[in-house]
Amino acid sequence: MMTSQLFSPYKLGALELSNRIVIAPMCQYSAEDGKATDWHTIHLGHLALSGAALLFIEATAVEPEGRISPLDVGLWSDETEAALGKVLDAIRKHSDMPIGIQLAHAGRKASVAAPWQGGGQLGLDQGGWQTLAPSPIAFGSHPRAPLALDLAGIARIRENFAASAKRAARLGLNAIELHAAHGYLLHQFLSPLSNRREDQYGGSLENRMRLPLEIFDAVREAVPASIPVGFRVSGSDWVAGGWDIEQTVAFAEALEARGGDFIHISGGGLSSEQQVPLGPNYQVPFARAVKQATGLPTIAVGLITEPDQAEAIIGTGDADLVALARGMLYDPRWPWHAAAQLGASVKPPSQYLRSQPRQFGKLFG
């Protein structure tokens, strides 16, 4: 039997990974004033026993106004840092899986209710707040437009990303992903649909990329070289005239030139007018295009649900790593099952060793 490429080791910057399976960030809307709770211990704890190589904590706001909802996790204060540290301490007692964090600012998509509460924009009398964006253009049907950030506001947000990164490093987190996808603030700066500025942060592609790249530089300087720093981006807005794969490749090239460690390529989220061609692997071509154009390690996503499917993505060189999100929630032992199917092995907790089916004699390595 050929050796599985999906279960081959990989080095992400200085971080050694046991295989090519990443658990993507997934919002839980279960924090209290930005502080992680017992739910996060349960949620992240069981994923940390999954056999994946790397687990990313959900989009974590760098300031209160950067939360998607009032229930989002943050990392902007000693209190939010301590709460997340408590969660991490509990997980690390039972798992040595590397854990990364996605640092984020929701921009004009902030101040909304949790999905199971309707997801609509919250009024200022409902616990909502004034949102911020590159330009005063509302998202979709939101009744309240964002305020356009001035240069002082841009500088504050850049500094807050760096400050949150320092807190992440103090917590011993193993990787930092900067969120520039799914229509949130850094994506809003990148896309010509949401960025209509006429200063150095708008207009040309170079100007629209300026703030995300400045934030990368600030974060890279703020944390040790042993912590890989990269981006999650949307490969396309799926809207004519918006952000597209050609601009994504240009961004990846600029990131690589600055010493970026990886790029995690998703899609959409910026416009309610998007037309997304859903289907298995539908976003993998974005990763392939970036990987072919650069030497930047790429993480692919997009309805990757089957072990053979993930194996083919790695084996054909479309991406260096694959990320699962909802599929991992549905099957938290997906890497175990993939290893069994592909003739590979995973490292389980000792308490679960006796669960190994007899027909998979080398599954638990």
The β-bridge partners of 346 are 364
Helical residues (DSSP H) of 171-204, grouped into ranges: 185-190
Give the DSSP H or E segment for 348.
Answer: none
Tokens of 16: 């050694």
Residue with tokens 């240009």: 250
In Å, what is the CA distance from 70 to each residue of 30, 160, 217?
Answer: 9, 18, 29
Cα distance between residue 57 and residue 175, in whole Å = 10
Q: Which of 121, 118, 119, 99 is nearest to 36 (CA)?
A: 99
How many Cβ atoms are within 10 Å of 145's Cβ, its own excluded? Answer: 15
What is the DSSP secondary-structure string of 273-315?
Answer: T-----STTTTHHHHHHHHHH----EEE-SS--SHHHHHHHHH
Active-site pick, 10, 184, 282, 330: 184
Cα distance between residue 74 and residue 104, in whole Å = 9
Whether 184 is catalytic is yes
Report the catalytic residues: 184
